[in-house]
Chains A and B, each alone.
Chain A
């Protein structure tokens, strides 16, 4: 079964490597990404990701529109976690401006960001099942995500590109009854979550497909700058929410409201696809706990700090990284005191995480290659920006 063993057998036969073009249109690339594989029969002997098919000049746009006007564009790079993107960008600008955010706004931001994390991980869960041929978990995941999107629709009016968290706070307060619906969502989600685990995560075929596949050792993960579930799947206890807390997370960590799931190599080697998947699935439940904490502690109050109508950001620069569902989403903004940014750099976690494919996708079977791409859980909108 081991790839190297097969390779030895193959060496007796004269074979020729074949170039296999996976993508830009391929069901496993989760968007328009192309991976040029060199294959020897079913064995992938080399892979090279080619990006840029979805490049939309987000950083250049950031240098051309006003600070607040850039907000809708942040929705669009990691479109599965738009709330987190809004949060990251807003925090970066706030960091330069040095303004204080009202507590209720922070609560709403945290609730939304964590709900969005659940939604994003649900997609990761569902599409990973889809990559491995299990179609039904995908639709179950969408069922819960649909509710999450309906919640966002109620609070901000949009289902995918929210533009809800803004510089200085949030746009709207929660409508009446919204918080109790979030609570109901949490209760239902906890039950459904168990089904996800039974249906896919602990399925024997699934374990056999993902355990020992695409192993990323901790050292390699750090060298490649991987963050998020990829890093934690390799057993490195690193989560910005816990280690460099921002917003309310310092309090939440102090209360012990959530823990950081880590890959343990339970069914195979530490850092394999199963571990990464496990981290994502477990994180969904931790996010529910965070949302619950916020619901317990939220109090009425202002939802936006005092900021001028036409935003002028003082000259300066800041880098703010937040924990996106896919890893560290960094925004590096430079201002010269005007209405428009000088530089609006986005450090997309998908972009960085994807780089590891070149090294991991060697000596694996074609089916494993799909499993590895799926386990990095990239959003092509973010890799290409």
Chain B
């Protein structure tokens, strides 16, 4: 199924938290500074409804997104006031993918965990949490995964400042 079909189906089954879709488009010469957008289409989802959205995607027999292939977050820039939480869904039965994006305000980056729906989200969310400082509420094991437990800051944020030293080891 192509993206349009998936999106229509999501609308038809009233997937919880579905906000809209974003498809690549040409740059509009009328609008100044518009670069257009290339790449993949994705659907926008309310972060607070993410677990139920994933569950719904998995349960629906037409979509049957059994697998969360990737979950990550993106900091689009220092002048933006939100993170993106990106999830890539994969359906083994129907051989299609879906990119899901949730927009999360930087001021209050809290969203419910999807780890109870898909176990693979456990580690992905741990990584997101330490790298971006996003809190996943209800996560069964909210420790750091790649960074040391006492690491300060969230390295993949655009405003991250590199530490001078870590336990006496120079980081320069």
Contacts and interface: CB of A to CB of B under 8 A. Distances in A.
A319 to B, nearest CB: 5
Interface string B132-172: 00000000000011111000000110100000000000000
* Interface of A: prevailing SS: mixed
B39 interface: yes
Nearest to A238: B92
A166 interface: no
A222 B66 contact: yes
A314 B36 contact: yes
A55 B40 contact: no
A227 B77 contact: no
Interface string A361-385: 0000000000000000000000011
Contact of B120 (A63, A319, A355): A355
B56 interface: no
B120 A224 contact: yes
Interface footprint category on A: 35 or more
A17 interface: no
Contacts of B155: 57, 60
Q: Which of B95, B123, B147, B148 has the most C-beta atoms of chain A within 10 angstroms of its own C-beta? A: B123
B146 A52 contact: yes
Interface stretch (A74-82, A143-151, A168-176, A327-335): A327-335
Contacts of B99: 319
Contacts of B38: 96-98, 313-316, 318, 335
Nearest to B88: A319
Interface string A300-315: 0000000000000111
A231 B70 CA distance: 16
Given A224-B120, A315-B35, A334 B76 contact: yes
B7 interface: no
A316 B69 contact: no
Interface residues of B, number: 40
Interface string B65-89: 0111110101111000000001010
Contacts of B92: 222, 236, 238, 243
A244 interface: yes
Given A223-B118, A244-B97, A315-B38, A347 B74 contact: no
A352 B74 CA distance: 19
Contacts of B144: 52
Given A314-B35, A314-B38, A337-B35, A319 B70 contact: yes
B84 to A, nearest CB: 8
Q: Which of A225, A227, A343, A345 has the most C-beta atoms of chain B within 10 angstroms of its own C-beta? A: A225
Interface in A193-234: 222-225, 227
A63 to B, nearest CB: 8
Contact of B77 (A57, A223, A236, A336): A336
A330 B37 CA distance: 20
Interface in A52-71: 52, 55, 57, 59-60, 63
B79 to A, nearest CB: 11
Contacts of B158: 63
B36 to A, nearest CB: 7
Nearest to A318: B39
5 contacts: A98-B38, A243-B92, A314-B35, A317-B42, A343-B76
Report the 7 A-B pairs with minimum CB-CB distance, sorted nearest first.
Answer: A225-B120, A316-B38, A316-B39, A318-B39, A315-B35, A347-B70, A52-B146
Interface of A: 51-52, 55, 57, 59-60, 63, 95-98, 222-225, 227, 236, 238, 243-244, 313-319, 321, 328, 330, 332, 334-337, 342-343, 345, 347, 351-352, 354-355, 384-385
